[in-house]
Copies of this chain bind each other. A is one copy, B any other.
Amino acid sequence: MKFTYTGVEVRDLDAAIGFYTKGLGMKLLGRSRIAATGGEVAALKSRGSDQVLELNWYPRRRYRKGSELDHLAFDVGKDDVNAVIDRLAGLGATRARATEVREKYIVGFVKDPDGIWLELYKARR
């Protein structure tokens, strides 16, 4: 039994693929139509990770803000947290909270173009 991926819903699949590949360096593994719903799905992965992010698009659905998804988290690795946030802001993300320097991590938050909260963090050396 293994938790293998997280599926989120997006309002514009092309835009979301662009955001997560250009903004967060993810690789598009593939995309396909879903006959049952008339929608489309794409799978993405970060280099060096087995963790898959699935982007789901459905035609004619109202997109509502809810509680279930708290946030998706990204370790920025060698990048700078604020530089990543600037890049994401240029791709349609909204700055959600001031970046904090905590005891062990530097942590920043944005909302992606669909309003999904993203945490960008980096371990302090």
| A residues with CB within 8 A of B | 1-9, 24-26, 45-51, 53-54, 56, 61-77, 79, 84, 114-116, 119
Among candidates B9, B68, B115, residue contacting A116 with C-beta atoms closer than 8 Å: B68
- Chain B residue at minimum C-beta to C-beta distance from A44: B3
- The contact sample of 17 A-B pairs, CB cut-off 8 A, is A1-B74, A1-B76, A1-B79, A2-B51, A2-B75, A3-B45, A4-B75, A5-B51, A7-B71, A9-B67, A9-B70, A50-B50, A61-B67, A63-B67, A65-B67, A66-B69, A68-B69
Number of copies: 2
Chain B hits for A4, CB < 8 A? 49, 51, 73-75
